[in-house]
Every structure is written in structure tokens, then in C-alpha cells.
Amino acid sequence: MFIKKGKLLTGIMLGTGLILTTLQTNAETLRLLTWGGYAPEKVVEMFKAETGIKVEVTNSNNEEMISKLRATGGAGFDLAQPSQDRIAGAQSEYEIYKPIDLSKVDASKFITSMLEGTKKNTTVDGKVYGVPHVWGTSALTVNTKVAPDVKDYLDLCNPKYAGKVSYRMKRPTLIAFAFAMGLDPFAAYGDTTSYKMIMDKVEAKLIECKPNVKAYWSGGDALINLIRSDEVVAAMAWDGSGWKVNAEKPEVKTIAPTSGALGWIDTFALPKKTKAENAAYQWINFVMRPEIAAMITEAAGNFTAAKDGDKFVEESKRMRFQETFPAAAIDNIKWYPPVPAGLEDMEGKVLDRVQAAK
Amino acid sequence: MSLSLRSAVRLNLILLLIPVFLWLLLLIILPHIDMLLVSTQVKVRPRVYEFSFANYGEFFSEPLYWRTFARTAIMSIAATLLTLVIAFPVAYYIAKMLRGRMKSFLFLLCLVPFWVSELVRTFGWMILLRESGVFSNLFQWIGFADGPVEMLYNDATIMVGLIYTSMLFMVVPLVTILDSLDDSLVEAGYDLGGNAFTVLRTIIIPHAMPGIVSGCIVVFMLTLGNYLTPVLLGGKDSLWFTAQIYTQFITRFNWELGAAFGFLLLFLSSMIVWMGLKLSRQTLTETMG
Amino acid sequence: MTEQGPGGGHAPSYDLECRNLVCRFGDFVAVNDVSFGVPEGDFFSILGPSGCGKTTILRMMAGFLQPTSGDFLIKGKSVIDMPPNRRPINMVFQHLALFPMMTVAENIAYGLLRQGINRIDARKKVEDALERIGLPGSGEKKIKQLSGGQQQRVAIARCLVLEPAALLLDEPLGALDLKLREHMKVELKKMQDQFGTTFVYITHDQSEALVMSDHVAVMNQGRFEQIGTPQDLYYQPATAFVAGFVGDTNRWQGRVESVDRDTVKVITQDGVQLLATAAGGEALSQGSQVEIFVRPEAVVITLESERITSQDNRITGELISVLFNGANSRALIRDRHTGGELDVALPQTGEFSHLQRGQEVHLGWSLAHAKAFIQKESGG
Ligand SMILES: Nc1ncnc2c1ncn2[C@@H]1O[C@H](COP(=O)(O)OP(=O)(O)OP(=O)(O)O)[C@@H](O)[C@H]1O
Ligand SMILES: [Mg+2]
């Protein structure tokens, strides 16, 4: 009796949900699949005032974006923002994107080197699938008062900080630890056997390091809470998270690890069955204006690929960036090359085994 | 004439049942058939799939997967039994000791956790139990502890969270069934020489058995299928089978293995429920009727 | 109240004895200072209208309810502090309370097993009991498979196998249909003889109480009005309530005109003068408001007025109707002068079976059969 009612209710809710979603898409809207902070409410309002287009924002992450688009064959959203290294593999495997018409994108608004690099990394069969938007790194966030000697990822395994460190159970952690152990996973991307050897070593290290970990963080806010409350004193995290805490807690700093921060670029990519292509290009050109880009930097905590975008950003933000990344550290950033299809299966197993280890 | 009447009745019945069948077909059976088909595919190269049961084999050959399942099942059973042990006196109190307004008040109290979403509820627990949280500070203030106490990220916390979420689903069927127990049966049990224990064992529990079993089934299935509570409260060691399914579907893009896991979950949990029914000598119709 | 040391030694040794039992629910007094004793082997009934507190007394005796004050003794020993499962008396509930989750045999064996009797002996006793209640071989049946009367017998057997000092029965026939109730009255009495157990029987049906009991207590609003044999209650009611509640009766209300020892002359509200005997042990005087009770069978009915000249009270009336019921046939008569109605038993000779409606009849009764009680403000 109980079960039946429950199901009926879900059925009804599903039904009404379907009706509501179909109703909502009637107006001129842009359904944006993006990351938290990349489409601040104010920017969405300004865009609507200027173009009359309503933006519907769905916050997500790389894996969910791919899964969602895969499930619908590239429908349901008009513009997505996956990281540049995750486009080529997903495209060749699931065909979820549509090539970008570069003539509709105002190239003059982009930092040229970033635009070119992204174009190169997101090219499949001679067609470009992504243009850059927000970029940043995975680095170390450290409470410098309590843990002044954390300089590289391996320092997180220092028993001194047992139960007080955190990182994610995701592929960047595997890559970061590999670099910190003196290996070069990016060089091994094309060679499954040597990549497997690297991953085996990383797996052993992460299992050994596990007792040190308080919790694997999964969302930016969760990590910020851990750091802010002093429950965690050192973590591998997005650079923006550390900068955010730094504003209220100066001893917390984002540090570029000696083995190099991992650089990522989140892009704009068109889902294969986008229904508002024009609106998507309008949005891209709109948010790449330097003053709008600065607003996004404020909200997301990271800089954009917009030319002169940093000029409009608060001085303190730029100071923090320069403190973390002196010129040498910027040169040392390891930019993710495109992930070849199939590597992620192998990494998944490694992550599973680390998770299961005692 | 009676024949035509009967066929008219039958036609009516069929018309009434059509929506039910459609709903079953569209929302339950078809997706499951699709899942079943997906689960028997194995990727050989990008975009090339083959028919195979390798995904099912993977579950049994990779210790991580079946251990995760076993752990999930055992913890769910434990959570179900604990919920029963806690909910039974509560339900008995509500059904038998209270009258009128207090009764509905206490009943409503069991509903309180459901006024907020599961996510909010779980975050509530996290705020209370974390190292810098309310309880930790309270204990330090009272003097129970010298330093901060971490109460999150262990199996006991998962258990607490699961039981908290499940209480209502155990209390409701128990109250309903205990309400229907005639007080004079309990009194007769005492009058004929029984003590509290024998009355409970020979009269109250046998009477409440259908409610106990249906409550246990609901709680077991909900717990087994729970995702947020074990993942958020369990921390780095929280291995929960639904999380594994989620991981396969979403972060690994391995729909084939995820679908196989989904089916294994359905099948194995049905087996456990079936064994539970056998052990308690109940039938599904008795419990759900 | 008499104090009693351990071991008893008090004159009439009762099987069960209640002393000054009081039970209050808040301000409401459900049982008000009730004392009585039940001799061994007695069939003792408590008779009273619904809500008068009968069940409350029984629940105090069984131990489910703690009396506000007073004492309850079984075979001379106070059991007031003993929990229900330790008291050597058992109860048959108003709706029987047979355990539906058990078979008939398990129901009967329940109490035996609780006493620590081993399963083999218990099974033998159960079979004996089934035999005695006329249900041999029904042990494996479910309770639902039994008829109402059979369930009744199982409920009683379930208690009697425990050989209790007494059996408390709370309107056990209430749930049965009329025919079965008549039959079970006899059965119950037989069972009680057979087992020789003391019965305390609760009912609001006066005929049940009169037929079965050795002693009856009539209860009203939490108090006992009278305790006595059925004959006592019927022929010598101690109060107006008992006179009205036990058996059928005609009643008048009036004012005492004059008193001559036991004989009172009363003017009724309708202005009729009646002679009656003072009852209830209270002194009547001129001007007292009284109620007069006359049993239908005490009234002589005749068509010729000269045949009742010897009666102390005489009335002329006309027939409203004859309520034919074989030997228990009655006539309903309307008083010519006052319009009041009287219930009169017809002689068994059948000489009045052809009375016509509206026909004139003469009624008469002696003052010995007319009982006058002081009228209280409230009454049954
Ligand atoms: N638990 C209780 N709380 C308050 N009042 C009660 C309680 N139990 C009984 N009463 C009151 O006490 C009075 C006597 O109740 P009791 O059940 O003894 O009546 P009874 O003589 O058995 O009536 P019946 O023939 O209808 O069964 C009733 O007025 C009832 O409302
Ligand atoms: Mg009663």
C-alpha cells in the first residue's frame, strides 16, 4: 500500500514535470549548461535587457555535462561549457557536439594564444568544437600558519597533517600526484602501457596517503567550508577557492606547487541538437566583453580568456593571482592536453580501488 | 442479459485498467527493458559495442563491486533492524498509550524530517556533527572532550542518518497495525499469566507482523537505494552501491556496467526481501493488503 | 470495616471479597464504596444499567485498574498490590479476546504454558478441556472458523483449565444473538456446575442475572443498591431502583395521605387513592412523596367487578391490547379515570384470550403486593 502510493506520486510528479519543461522552452531562451559562477544573475539580466533572450542556467561539472548530453544525444541544452581537454574524446566517442562557426565568434575579444590553443585541442576531424572562456588551475590551498611547509602535492601525505588534508577523488588528483612523483603522465597519454604503469604508482601512493585525508571534497563550497573552519589545513583545490578564503582569512593562500599547477580552460561548446545557436553566439560575444568578463571573474573567482578582462577586475584579485603565480610559476603550469578516449576507464578503476582501500 | 451485463462490467474493468497498464509499460517496463539491453553491451572500441554478459561477470570478478554491494546490503539490513527496534516502542506508545491531540502531535513529529529535502536534512546533520560543528563545540564546552571531536565520516554516522530518514516509513505501518490490536487481547495475555515479554512475543508481535514486514521492506529498499546520506555522511570510506552505479553512469560514462549494476541491485535486493518474507513466514499480499 | 490479620479467621470465609472499593476518574466517581463477598462455588452476578461501573469493578478485581481506595481479597488474602498476571483469577472479556493469531488449542494452552506446565501435560489438559466443552478435535482450527457459541466456550475453557479461584465474566453473552444467548445461559450454568468454579458475572440484562445466579448485586451509579438471591430482589426489593429495574412492574407516584403502621394510603398524581405497604426500611409519614410498584402478575383481572371486592385496590379500565406470548401473555389496560396505563399478566387458563379492544375490565390487587418507596430526586 505504501509503496504503491509512493510510486503513483512520483509518476504524477514526473508527468507534471514533463509538461512544465515543455511549456517553459517556448519563449526565446538559451539553455546554458555551465559551472557555478560562470553566469551570474546580474550578467543574465543585462543580457536579457540587451537582447531579449532569457538564459536558463544549469550548474554542472565536466562528467555530468558529458553524461547529460550523451543521454539525449546532444539535446536539452543550447550551449555547454566543458573543459577543453574533455571535448575531443567525448566528441569522437559519443558525437554530442556541433562544430563552432568561427565566423560568428568575435576573435578580437579573445586572448589570442588561448583561443588558438583551445582551437587546437578541441579539433576533431579538422573541425573546431570549442572556444575558451574561463581558465584557472588546480593548485594547493594552504593554511600557511599551520602548515607552512606544504609546497607540493606529496606534502599532503606528510603524517604531520594526518586527518587535516583534502583532495578530490577525480582524475586531476591522479595527474597531479603523478607530476609530483616526478612522472610525466601527459607524455604517456598516447601510450596505454606506460600510462598504466604511472597510474599503478599513483594508486599505491594515494592508498598510502589515504589515512591522512579527512574527506574527499566534491564541491567547491564544501572545500571552502572545510578550510574556513580549520578542519582542513592543506588541500589540492581550484586556485579560486583559496583566493576566496584568503579575502577573509589572510593566512590561507593558494600556492603553485613546485611540480607545477594543472592548468584548465573551460570552453564554450555547442551541443549537437542546440535549438538556439544564434543566441549561443550572442552570449559568447556578450560575456567576452572585458567589463562583463570581469564580472564573471568576480563571481567565479577565476580569470577569463577575454582580452583586457583583468583590467576591470578588482586590484586585490590581481594581487592574489600574482602572489600565487610569479612569472616562473606561470611557465610551470601544466596545461591539460586532450584526453584520448579510453584513458578514463583505466583511471576510473584506479579511483575505485583507492576509494575501497582501507 | 446477465451475460451482456457481465461483459459490460469486464469492459469497464479493462477501461479502468488501461491507464495503469500504460503507466506500468511506459514508465517502468520499457525503461527496464532498455536498461537490460544496455547492460548486455560491452564496448570493444569507441562507438563499437558487442553483446556479452561480461558486465555481470565484472561484478563478481572484481571484489570491489560485490564487496560494495555486500557492505551496502548488510548495512541496510542493520539499519532496517535498528529502525524497527527504535520505531516499535515509539509506534506502540503512539498507538496504545496516547489519545487525541498528543497522538496526532507525535505522529506529526515523525513527519518533521520530511518538511525539508533530503539534501538539506543531510547538511543539517553535517553542521551538527562536523569537527567544528555544534555537538563538538558543546562537548568541549561541557568538558566531555578536550579538543574538537569529529563525528562525521564513519559508519555509525551513516547509520544514524539512515535511521533518521527511515523512521517515518517504519512508524506509520506499525502505528496502523498496532492501532488495530484490541487492547483486551493484551490484557487477556496478562490475565492468563503472561508477563510483558511473553505478551510481546506471543501476542503483540504476531499481530504486528504484517506491519513489521511491510515497514521493513520499505525501509530496506529506501536505505539500499539511498545515495546522499551515505555519500555525504560517510566521507572517504563510504562505499555505497548506488554511489557506485552513479559513478559508473555519470563519471565513468560506463552506462553498460551501470545498467548491469542496476539490474543486479534490483535482483539481489528482491532476493533479500524474498528471503525475509520466507523467514518471517509472511506473504507479499498479506503485507501489502 | 473489620481488620483482618494474615491467615484470615474472619467468620464467613469468602472466596472473593471487596472492601469499600472506590474508583475515581478525575472528579467522576465510577465506583463508590462497594463492598461484597462471594462464597466459594457461587454464581455471583452484578446487574446494572450501562455505564453504572460494572466493568470498572471487574477490572479492579482482575488487576488492570488500581482502585482509588479499598481492598480486594482472594481467599482472605489481599491481592491489591499483585499484578494481573499473578492473580489466581481469570477474566472472560466482553468481546472474548481470543487470540486470533493462534489455533484453538494454542489459545487454551496459552495460560498453561505460562504456568510452566510442560507441553505434553498441557496438550493433555487442552484435549480434556475441548472434550468437556463439546469441541473434541477442533484444536487445530483457527478461531475464525468457530461459531459464536463455540468461541464463547473456548474463551471460558481457556480460563477454566487454569483452575482459577474465580472466573470473572464481563457480559460474555452480549455479542451473541438472542437465540444463542438463551441457549448459552443454560450452558454457562452447566459449565459452572461442572467445573465448580466461582463465577462473577456482569450483565445489564436482568433476566440473565435472575436465571443463572445464586446471588445478584444490583448496581446503580457506582453504588450497590442491594445484594441478595434472585428471589429476594424480585419479591423484597430494598430500593425503588431495584423494584423498577428487576422484573417488570407498574408504577405510580403520589403523596402519603395517612400511615397506619406498615400500611400507607397514597393519593397519586392523577388523584387516585391507593393502599400500599411501606418498603425500603425508611419511615414514611404523611406528606412523603412515594413511588408505588406493583408486579403485573399481582394484579387480578376480571370482567365482573364483584369478583374483586375483596382486593385492597380496585380500578376499572378498558383494554388497549393483548400481548400474546403463550404462558406469558399480557394485557395493556387504560385506567378509565386517569388515562394511566397498566401492564397485567393474563391467567394461563386462556379465558381472557378473546378480549375485545375497548372492552371494560376490572382490576384489583392487595396492599401486600403494592410496595411504596420514598421517592428520590433521581432514579433509574
Ligand atoms: N478510563 C476511564 N476514564 C474515565 N472514565 C471512565 C474510564 N473508564 C470508565 N469510565 C467511566 O466510568 C463509568 C463506568 O464505566 P464502566 O465501563 O464500568 O461501565 P459499565 O457498567 O461496564 O457499562 P456497560 O454496561 O456499558 O459496559 C462510565 O461512565 C465511564 O464513562
Ligand atoms: Mg462494561
Span C283-298, pLDDT tens digits: 888 888 999 999 999 9
Residues of chain C with pLDDT under 70: 1-12, 377-380
User: Phi and psi (nearest 5°) for A139?
Assistant: -140, -160
Per-residue model confidence (pLDDT) at position A27: 59
Per-residue model confidence (pLDDT) at position A24: 47
Span A231-254, pLDDT tens digits: 999 999 999 999 999 988 999 999
Span A176-232, pLDDT tens digits: 999 999 999 999 998 999 999 999 999 999 999 999 999 999 878 889 989 999 999
pLDDT at A54 over 90: yes
Span C305-323, pLDDT tens digits: 888 888 899 999 999 988 8
Per-residue model confidence (pLDDT) at position B87: 95
Annotate chain A with three-state secondary structure.
Answer: CHHHHHHHHHHHHHHHHHHHHHHHCCCCEEEEEECCCCCCHHHHHHHHHHHCCEEEEEECCHHHHHHHHHHHCCCCCCEECCEHHHHHHHHHHHCCEECCCHHHCCHHHECHHHHHHHHHHCEECCEECCEEEEEEEEEEEEECCCCCCCCCHHHHHCHHHCCCEECCCCHHHHHHHHHHCCCCCCCCCCCHHHHHHHHHHHHHHHHHHHHHECCCCCCHHHHHHHHHCCCCCEEEEEHHHHHHHHHHCCCEEEECCCCCCEEEEEEEEEECCCCCHHHHHHHHHHHCCHHHHHHHHHHHCCCECECCHHHHCCHHHHHHHHHHCCHHHHHCCEECCCCCCCHHHHHHHHHHHHHHCC
pLDDT at B226 over 50: yes
Q: Report d(CA A90, CA B252) in Å as an integer.
A: 12
Q: What is the CATH number of domain B61-288?
A: 1.10.3720.10
Under 8 Å CB-to-CB from A281, ≥6 apart: which residues? A101, A104, A105
Residue with cell 401492564: C343
Q: Which residues of A touch B35 (CB under 8 A)?
A: none
Q: What is the mean pLDDT of residues A285-309?
A: 93
Task: Find the helix packing angle between A87-94 and A62-72, rounded to 10°.
Answer: 20
**Interface predicted TM-score (ipTM) of this complex, two decimals:** 0.80
Q: Are A62 and A37 in contact (CB under 8 A)?
A: no
Nearest CA in chain B to C64: B187
A37: left (phi over 0), alpha (psi -120 to 50) or beta: left
Give the residue from A335, A329, A350, A338 showing the smallest Cα distance to A174: A350
Q: Is C90 on the interface with B (CB under 8 A)?
A: yes
**A234-238 and A131-143: which strand pairing?**
antiparallel
pLDDT at A16 over 70: no
Per-residue model confidence (pLDDT) at position B105: 87
**C166-170 and C89-92: which strand pairing?**
parallel
Average pLDDT, chain B: 88
Q: Report d(CA B88, CA B200) in Å as an integer.
A: 11
Which of the residue ranges A164-178, A322-336, B126-140, B157-171 would you say has the lowest mean pLDDT?
B126-140
Residue A166 C-alpha cell reads as: 583534502
CB contact under 8 A, C64 and B203: no
Residue C269 C-alpha cell reads as: 398524581
| Strand-by-strand arrangement of the C43-47 sheet | C89-92, C166-170, C198-203, C43-47, C215-220, C223-228
One fold for A23-129+264-324 and A137-261+338-356: yes
Q: Which residues pair with A98 in a beta bridge?
A: A270
Nearest CA in chain A to B173: A2
pLDDT at A26 over 80: no
**Domain boundaries, given as residue ranges, for chain A:** 23-129+264-324, 137-261+338-356
Residue A160 C-alpha cell reads as: 604531520
Q: Report d(CA A157, CA B223) in Å as an integer.
A: 34
Cβ atoms within 10 A of the Cβ of C338, count?
Answer: 15
Q: Report d(CA A62, CA C224) in Å as an integer.
A: 86
Q: Are B121 and B202 in contact (CB under 8 A)?
A: no
Size of interface A-B (CB pairs under 8 A): 80
Average pLDDT, chain A: 89
Per-residue model confidence (pLDDT) at position C2: 38
pLDDT at B284 over 80: no
Per-residue model confidence (pLDDT) at position A5: 40
CATH label, A23-129+264-324, candidates 1.10.510.10, 3.40.50.300, 3.40.190.10, 3.40.190.150: 3.40.190.10
Span B82-98, pLDDT tens digits: 999 999 999 999 999 88
User: Phi and psi (nearest 5°) for A149?
Assistant: -95, 15
Average pLDDT, chain C: 89
Q: Choose from C91, C94, C98, C102 for mutation: most chain B CBs within 10 A.
A: C91
Residue B178 C-alpha cell reads as: 498496532
Q: Are C241 and C379 in contact (CB under 8 A)?
A: yes
Q: Identify the contact set of chain A against chain B, taking CB-CB distances under 8 A.
A: 1-4, 11, 14, 63-64, 66-67, 70, 90, 92-94, 163, 169-170, 210, 213-216, 229-231, 341-342, 344-345, 348, 352-353, 355-356, 358
Q: What is the CATH number of domain A137-261+338-356?
A: 3.40.190.10
Which of the residue ranges A106-115, A185-194, A307-316, B177-186 would you say has the lowest mean pLDDT?
A307-316
Neighbours of chain C (3+ CB pairs under 8 A): B
pLDDT at A89 over 80: yes
pLDDT at A96 over 80: yes
C-alpha B203, offset from chain centre = 26
Residue with cell 401473555: C329
Residue A74 C-alpha cell reads as: 546532444
Question: Among residues of chain A, what percentage have pLDDT more than 90?
Answer: 74
Q: What is the mean pLDDT of residues B207-229?
A: 93
pLDDT at B238 over 60: yes
Domains in chain C with CATH codes:
14-241 (3.40.50.300), 248-374 (2.40.50.100)
Q: N- to C-terminal Cα distance for chain A?
A: 42
